[in-house]
Amino acid sequence: MAAPARADGLACYSPPMAKTSAQPYRVLARKYRPSDFTGLIGQEALVRTLSNAFAIQRIAHAFMLTGVRGVGKTTTARIIARALNCIGPDGKRTDPTIQPCGKCEPCVSISESRNVDVQEMDAASRTGIDDIREIIEGVRYAPVAARYKVYIIDEVHMLSKQAFNGLLKTLEEPPPHVKFVFATTEIRKVPVTVLSRCQRFDLRRIDSAELAAYLAGLAEKEKVKIEEGALALIARAAEGSARDGLSLLDQAIAHGEGEMITADTVRLLLGLADRGRVLDIFEKLMGGKLSEGLTDLGALYDAGADPLAVMQDLLETTHFLTRVKVAPAAQGFFDGGSGEAKRAADLAAKLSVASLTRAWQILLKGLFEVRDATRPISACEMALIRLAYAAELPPTDKLVKDLLEGGAMPAPRASGASAPPPSFRAPVASGSAMPARAAMPEGAPTASIRNLEDIVALCEPRSELRVNLEHNVHLVHLEPGRIEIRPTARAPRTLANDLQAKLRAVTGERWTVSIANQGGAPTLAEQKQLAKTARFEVVAQEPMVRAVLDRFPGAEIVAVRDVASDDVAPAMPESDS
Ligand SMILES: [Zn+2]
C-alpha cells in the first residue's frame, strides 16, 4: 500500500511483544491492531488527506470517521490521537506527526487506553446530555500532560438531540488544545450542523483481494499454513471488515489444529456450499428441473451447508449472471477463467435480464424468510420452488401483451425440462378417466422415464400405486433402470415391489428400486401444494395484478387459472367486498 515512508528508516509496523509460552493466546485482531497509519489497510485516501493536513499544519478540530463495522474506525481514531500527541522516542518532538513513534509515553498510554487526556466514550451507552456535559466542562481545562485533549466518541449518531446541541456549542468555538474524533456507522443520523464542523473521512470497505493478501501476510508471520483459496473465502465472508476477517482467520487456525487449512475446512467453518454446486442448483431451477434442484439442495444441506449461505450464494450467482449479461468481462462471484465462470457465462446467455431480475426478487425475499424461519431449510426449499415456477412464466411484458390480445398464458411446469407439452399431459394431470396407456401409446422405453411424474403418468388413474407415488414417495435418485425413493410412514410395505413390477411391465426392462432413510425431494402432492402457493405469490408480483390489489383494498387472489386449459380470465383477483 502507498504508506508514507519513514524518514528514520525504521520499520513502521510495530511487532507484537515477544510472547512466552506462558502468555495466553492473543486473538489476531488485538495482536495486529495497527498502531500507525501504515498498518491500516485499504484506507489510502484517508491516510493521504491526513498526511497533507499534518504536513501543512492545518489539522481539523473535529474528525468524523464513517464506515461499516469492522473497517477500522476506532483504530483510526486512536492512531489520530497518537499522531496528535506523539513526542517521539527521545521526548523532544513538539509538533503532531503522521508517523507516531509507538514508543513514547503518550503513544503507549493511548494505545493502552489509559491516557488521561485522551478520552473514549461510546455514545451507544452514554447518549444523554449529562454525559456530554462532562465533556463540555472538561474542554475548558488544558490537557494534563499531552499536547491535545482528544475526545473519541464512538457511534456518535446515538447521541440524543439535546446532547448534540450541547456538543455543537463546543464545536463552534473549540479551544485550541481540544480535538474531537467521532466515529459512526450511520452518518445520515448525524445532524448536518455537527457534520459541517468536522473533517469527514469515509473509511471504505476493504477490497476482498486486498484483505486476502493482508491475511496471507499475517498467516505467514504466525507460521500458519493456509491455502490461497481458504484465504479468499475468508476475505469474501468478511465483507470488507478487517476485524471480521481476522476473527474468521482465528477460528480457522483453531479449527485447523496445526494442519494445513484448506478451502474445504473454511467452507465447512462458514457453512458454505461449493459454488459449482450452487450454480448446478440455479441452472436446474431456471431450467424447470425442480425435483433435481431440490435433491441437490438436500445433498448440500446434508453435507453441512447453511441454508442461509446457500440463499446468499444463489443471490450472488444471480447477480453475477446479470452482470455477465450486461458486461461480459464482469468479474466477481465466479473467478475469471474458471470452469464455473465459463458455465455461468453460458447460462447467462440463455436467460433474459427480465427472468434474472425476477429471480433476484424471489431469492431476496427468500433470504429474509430463511433468516427468520424456525426451519431455514424448509424456507429455502419454498424459495427454490417459487424460483423454478417463476422461471417458467413468460416475461411480464409478454404476459400483458398476451392478456391484451387474448392469448394464452402457458402453465408453468417445473418437473423436468423434457416434460411433455400441456396438450399431451393434460388428460393425465386432470385425472380424467382416459386410460393412462393412451398417454404413452407406444409403451415407455426406460430412457423416457426421467422423473416421478413420468412414472405416475404410466399408472392407471386412481390406482393405489399412483396415489402412493403422488402422496407417499420422496424421490431421492432416478436414472435409467434404477430408482431410489424414501417412502413416507403411510406408504404400504409392498410399495417398492409394486413399483418395480410396474416399471418392468411398462418398460420391459429390469429396474432396481432401493429405499433411502433420508433425503429426497418433497412428494408430488407437497410440490403441487407448494407450487400453488408459489404461483399465487408470483402472480401477486405481476404489475397488473399488483395494481388491481392496490386499487381494491381487501381483494385477494383466490385462484390462478390458465387460459389454455380453462378458457377463463387468468390471474384475475376476485374482490370479496
Ligand atoms: Zn510516540
pTM score:
0.54
Cα 5 to averaged position of ligand 1 atoms, centre (Å) = 16
Cα 87 to averaged position of ligand 1 atoms, centre (Å) = 5
Cα 53 to averaged position of ligand 1 atoms, centre (Å) = 19
Cα 255 to averaged position of ligand 1 atoms, centre (Å) = 38
CA dist 150 and 7 (Å) reads 26
Locus of grid cell 420422496: 474
Cα 154 to averaged position of ligand 1 atoms, centre (Å) = 23
- Would you tell me how many other CB atoms lie within 10 Å of the CB of residue 209? 11
Cα 70 to averaged position of ligand 1 atoms, centre (Å) = 25
Cα 97 to averaged position of ligand 1 atoms, centre (Å) = 9
- Verify that 181 and 64 share a domain, yes or no: yes
Q: What is the CATH number of the domain that holds 451?
A: 3.30.300
Q: What is the CATH number of the domain that holds 253?
A: 1.10.8.60
Q: Is residue 1 one of the residues assigned to a domain?
A: no
Q: Is residue 239 one of the residues assigned to a domain?
A: yes
pLDDT of residue 148: 95
Mean pLDDT for 396-419 is 49
- Verify that 439 and 507 share a domain, yes or no: yes
pLDDT of residue 318: 93
Q: Is residue 357 one of the residues assigned to a domain?
A: yes
Please write down the HEC assignment for all residues of 141-176.
Answer: CCCCCCCCEEEEEECHHHCCHHHHHHHHHHHHCCCC
Mean pLDDT for 514-538 is 80
Judge whether 180 and 63 are in contact, CB under 8 Å: yes
Q: Is residue 217 one of the residues assigned to a domain?
A: yes
Q: What is the CATH number of the domain that holds 375?
A: 1.20.272.10
CA dist 338 and 322 (Å) reads 18
What are the DSSP calls for 230-278, one per residue? HHHHHHHHTTT-HHHHHHHHHHHHHHHTTSPBPHHHHHHHHTPPPHHHH
Cα 67 to averaged position of ligand 1 atoms, centre (Å) = 27
Cα 93 to averaged position of ligand 1 atoms, centre (Å) = 9
R_g (Cα) of the chain, nearest Å: 32
Cα 85 to averaged position of ligand 1 atoms, centre (Å) = 7
Which residue, 218, 247, 270, sits at the end of a domain?
270
**Least confident range of 111-115, 425-429, 489-493:** 425-429
Cα 74 to averaged position of ligand 1 atoms, centre (Å) = 18
Cα 554 to averaged position of ligand 1 atoms, centre (Å) = 69
Cα 7 to averaged position of ligand 1 atoms, centre (Å) = 15
- The yes-or-no verdict on residue 446 having pLDDT over 80 is no
Cα 55 to averaged position of ligand 1 atoms, centre (Å) = 17
pLDDT of residue 336: 58
Cα 350 to averaged position of ligand 1 atoms, centre (Å) = 61
CA dist 307 and 315 (Å) reads 12
- Verify that 292 and 378 share a domain, yes or no: yes
Cα 526 to averaged position of ligand 1 atoms, centre (Å) = 69
Cα 241 to averaged position of ligand 1 atoms, centre (Å) = 27
Tally: H helices and E strands in the chain? 25, 8
Locus of grid cell 415391489: 497
Q: What is the CATH number of the domain that holds 161?
A: 3.40.50.300
Cα 59 to averaged position of ligand 1 atoms, centre (Å) = 18
Query: Which tens digit of pLDDT belongs to each residue from 472-524?
Result: 999 888 888 889 899 988 888 888 888 988 888 888 888 888 888 887 888 88
What SS3 class is residue 87?
coil
Mean pLDDT for 43-63 is 89
What percentage of the chain carries pLDDT values higher than 90?
27
- Verify that 76 and 137 share a domain, yes or no: yes
- The yes-or-no verdict on residue 21 having pLDDT over 60 is no
Number of domains composing the chain? 5
Residue environment code for 144-181, b if the CB has 16+ CB neighbours within 10 A, otherwise e: eebbbbbbbbbbbbbbeeebbebbeebbeebeeebbbb
Burial (Cβ within 10 Å: 0-12, 13-18, ≥19) of residue 405: exposed
Place 362 in a pLDDT band, splitting at 50, 70 and 90: very high
Cα 394 to averaged position of ligand 1 atoms, centre (Å) = 67
Judge whether 452 and 469 are in contact, CB under 8 Å: yes
Judge whether 251 and 269 are in contact, CB under 8 Å: yes
Cell numbers linked to 186: 450511520
Query: Which residues lie closer than 8 Å to 184 by C-beta, 6 or more apart?
Result: 64, 65, 66, 73, 155, 156, 157, 190
- 172-175, long-range: CB < 8 A, 24+ apart: 172/197, 174/61, 174/62, 174/139, 175/139, 175/140
Q: Hey, what amino acid is at 409?
A: M
What DSSP character marks residue 574?
B
Cα 391 to averaged position of ligand 1 atoms, centre (Å) = 62
Q: Is residue 410 one of the residues assigned to a domain?
A: no
pLDDT of residue 226: 93
Which residue, 149, 179, 202, sits at the end of a domain?
202
Cα 304 to averaged position of ligand 1 atoms, centre (Å) = 49
List the domain range (segments joined by +) for residue 447. Answer: 422-523
Q: Is residue 373 one of the residues assigned to a domain?
A: yes
Q: For 58, phi and psi rounded to 5 degrees?
A: -115, 80
Q: Is residue 131 one of the residues assigned to a domain?
A: yes
Query: Which tens digit of pLDDT belongs to each residue from 201-256?
Result: 999 888 888 899 999 999 999 899 999 989 988 988 887 888 889 988 998 888 87
Higher pLDDT, 13 or 148: 148
- Verify that 77 and 170 share a domain, yes or no: yes
- Verify that 320 and 459 share a domain, yes or no: no
Cα 112 to averaged position of ligand 1 atoms, centre (Å) = 13
Cα 218 to averaged position of ligand 1 atoms, centre (Å) = 24
CA dist 37 and 34 (Å) reads 7
Please write down the HEC assignment for all residues of 184-232.
Answer: ECCHHHCCHHHHCCCEEEECCCCCHHHHHHHHHHHHHHCCCCECHHHHH
Cα 514 to averaged position of ligand 1 atoms, centre (Å) = 73
- Verify that 229 and 298 share a domain, yes or no: no
Cα 243 to averaged position of ligand 1 atoms, centre (Å) = 25
Mean pLDDT for 20-37 is 70
Cα 167 to averaged position of ligand 1 atoms, centre (Å) = 29
pLDDT of residue 77: 94
Query: Which tens digit of pLDDT belongs to each residue from 63-87?
Result: 999 988 888 899 999 999 999 999 9
- Verify that 113 and 142 share a domain, yes or no: yes
Q: Is residue 218 one of the residues assigned to a domain?
A: yes
Judge whether 288 and 391 are in contact, CB under 8 Å: yes
Cα 31 to averaged position of ligand 1 atoms, centre (Å) = 19
- Verify that 488 and 510 share a domain, yes or no: yes
- The yes-or-no verdict on residue 24 having pLDDT over 70 is no
- Verify that 248 and 296 share a domain, yes or no: no
